[in-house]
Structure 1
């Protein structure tokens, strides 16, 4: 990005809906997925948007089976979004919303699926690489092949890095070659810091740990790699004090609001977002949907932020667009084209 490019980023005073010419203002979704509809369980699945409460479990029952039932009955939900039934429906519905709402999605998933969606919608998709150590085996990637993939220019963002599910932190030595690659090539990275599904250790992610919701797990990685552009996905919910401490200590660190902006009870989401804004970090909060197999989640999450009573119009535009444009170092030409 050219020096002081932020001076050109518009502090537009319209809503995230439509402008005077009925053209939606641009939104950058820093946390979008290209999945198969079966990856999270057999569809249809009903996700809380938001959840009404988080139910408990008698340990004599298998929690994975319990949660699969909950996603069929919606018994924990205040309101629900229902998953797409086919891969074609998921892709078509997601791309339709991107076009309708003028959303530019940082899209991750299998390499070939990301390429397929990008071919179907070249304008509104920014290619990203999903990463965990299990997934990369199926993709046949390592640090060297990943470096070549980014050097080609086809993929722009290293995200989502979901090693939390494997009990690995970004500061662990096993992840060091990938951080070095990203710093060498100046590739922005987004790291899962926060919630997975409820009861994650009992749904297959046996090494997932609650303590790794803390943004403090990023600290040694950021000390070793001061030139990295990093965003903490899910904004480290619910460990707000740790997140604020990291944002204060590391001015290069940003957050996205993926998943917490629609699954959490609204009072909890608004309280968490307000803490970040009131602490002075409104210029480093980015919109993310974490849309997986529920396309409608994108629109619900946008509307939740748009209707936040404590945010000014300028703060909303920062979250929806300006902060991500700065973080991604978009050119004035790119910004103009997105409008």
Structure 2
């Protein structure tokens, strides 16, 4: 899955006709104060992309989901009315939504939060519990909770229990985050019976430490590791038998 930040990205990544790239738009766009950098879709002159264009792209199969949805960085809650049309599009097109959960890092925290980023940042808008009214309105909506295991493990477990179309990834925590926290969080999800609801995420980090941590989790079975690496995502994304067989042949 590749999260894109502009219309031109669709043309760029679709032009090579690479079927292994699944594109999904990143929004709402955080405001900037000190640096001029385009985060998302500039044609609307606001934090949200053009819903009609998203509808068209989902219909054409050029986009296959929504997200990464970065609510806390934009200061927009998941159930804000501005999101109503987009949740409806995801439900109507039956495509997954990829939601950033967790508080941070916030503005000025770490090298990836440059000066001027995200003056509307609201840490607690990364609480996955805020997705409950959305999922209640769209009970079949497929959602990936990204970066699970940092701040809101208990809230994540409740959503996994109540909504079978919700899965988690552990990106960042599975690479540069504290190893002990990663292992404890992973064990918590597995012990709760959700090993088949964990999908692999990298968040643009190198895969070597991610694989090392998963291989080093001695409480995982071989089947559970295979699920995290591929099978769980293949099922969640509804990859066809031919695609799955081709991927296993690689």
The structural deviation recorded for 1:208 is 2.3
TM-score by length of 1: 0.63
Count of aligned pairs: 230
| Pairing 1:1-339 to 2, within 5 Å after superposition | 106-110=1-5, 111-113=7-9, 115-120=11-16, 122-133=18-29, 135-138=39-42, 140=44, 141-199=49-107, 204-235=117-148, 237-291=150-204, 297-339=206-248
Change (3 A) 1:136 1:116: closer
The structural deviation recorded for 1:139 is 5.1
Structure 2: how far apart are the matches of 1:312 and 1:121?
36
Q: Which runs of 5+ in 1 are unaligned?
A: 1-105
Structure 1: how far apart are the matches of 2:176 and 2:103?
11
Paired position in structure 1 for 2:36: none
Structure 1: how far apart are the matches of 2:140 and 2:223?
28
* Contact in 1 for aligned 2:72/2:103 (Cα 8 Å): no
Deviation >3 Å, runs of 4+: 117-121, 133-137, 198-203
Q: Which runs of 5+ in 2 are unaligned?
A: 31-38
Structure 1: how far apart are the matches of 2:103 and 2:240?
33
Change (3 A) 1:303 1:195: farther
Tell me the C-alpha RMSD between the 2 structures. 2.2
Residue-by-residue CA offset, 1:118-149 (whole Å, 9 max, x unaligned):
54571432122222145444154311111001
Structure 1: how far apart are the matches of 2:106 and 2:87?
29
TM-score by length of 2: 0.83
* Contact in 2 for aligned 1:195/1:234 (Cα 8 Å): no
* Contact in 2 for aligned 1:108/1:128 (Cα 8 Å): yes
Residue-by-residue CA offset, 1:277-298 (whole Å, 9 max, x unaligned):
111111111110010xx5xx23
Structure 2: how far apart are the matches of 1:115 and 1:261?
32
Structure 2: how far apart are the matches of 1:312 and 1:246?
24
User: Please, which moves more after superposition, 116-125 or 155-164?
Assistant: 116-125
Q: Which structure ranks higher in relative contact order (CA pairs < 8 Å, sequence separation ≥ 6)?
A: 1
SS at match of 1:337: helix
Change (3 A) 1:167 1:331: same
Q: Which has the larger radius of gyration?
A: 1
